Amino acid sequence: MEVQTLKGVDRAKDENLAVLRKGGAIPAVVYGNKIEPTHVAVNAIAFQKTLRQAGESTLVDLSIGDKDPVKVLIHDVQYHPVRDDVVHIDFYQVNMKEKITTHIPLEFIGESPAVEQLSGTLVKNMDELEVECLPGDLVHAIDVDISVLKTFDDVIHVKDIVLPQGLEVQNDMDATIVFVEEPRSEAELEAELAAPVSEQEAIAHIEGAEEKPADAEDTGEEGK
């Protein structure tokens, strides 16, 4: 079981969050089943490092002040719409004896002969699996070996994945995870170029052409 560590401090619920963020901290809430929510703050740089290493499927030992660490998952991360800074975090405190449902990312490993030798294109339909497990059985990622994709007829389904012990997949077992698409022939590309333009596309093209003179005029005036 992988466990990352992170330190934080208690904060007042009505604390000025703008001042907190300017000081290099991120406001957060720790909550869980039958657990009273706790308002805390963590160092922004330390959290970014933890997020890169743990993602949202690895347990984190969160220490608040001088209290004993609690095991949490990074449950939700909110970002600033312009700067893309983290502005708030939800930590979910787990009970190590109770199963949870979460998403674990897929890690595609190996090389596909259909890509390397037949010039196909790897098409990923899924990038994570929904699983149920005890917190202690969580893993950072689930491996998907694409070396079995030798032809364009080969497909990896959910049922083909060998899951680590303790994980129970919740997805449709027949769902497609990844396959290799055959490269299109010159005839197919030419047919696509020669395909008739729809009425909607034609209208969009005409409207775009009508806007160009006005844009050019505006540009000319700005240059004077």
pLDDT in tens, 31-48: 998 889 999 999 999 999
Per-residue pLDDT band at 157 (split at 50, 70, 90): very high
CATH number of 3-93: 2.40.240.10
The pTM assigned to this predicted structure is: 0.75
The predicted model gives 39-65 an average pLDDT of: 94
The encoded tokens of residue 33 equal 């089943």
Q: What does the alpha-carbon distance between residue 40 and residue 215 come to, in Å, rounded to a whole number?
A: 52
Cα 40–Cα 46–Cα 49 angle in degrees, nearest 5: 125
Bridge partners, 121 (sequence order): 181
What percentage of residues in the chain have a pLDDT greater than 90?
73
The encoded tokens of residue 1 equal 């079981």
Q: What does the alpha-carbon distance between residue 85 and residue 88 come to, in Å, rounded to a whole number?
A: 9
Per-residue pLDDT tens over the stretch 199-211: 666 566 555 555 5
The encoded tokens of residue 65 equal 């002040």
Residues 6+ positions from 58 with CB-CB distance below 8 Å: 2, 3, 4, 73, 138, 139, 140
Residue 108 in 3-state DSSP? strand
Helix, strand, coil share of the chain (percent; to 5)? 30, 40, 35
Can you name the CATH fold of 100-181?
Answer: RNA Polymerase Alpha Subunit; Chain A, domain 2 (2.170.120)
pLDDT beyond 80 at 109: yes
User: What DSSP letter does each residue of 154-197 carry, written as one string?
Assistant: -EEEGGG--PPTT-EE-S-TT-EEEEEEPPPPHHHHHHHHHSPP
Residues 6+ positions from 96 with CB-CB distance below 8 Å: 71, 134, 135, 136
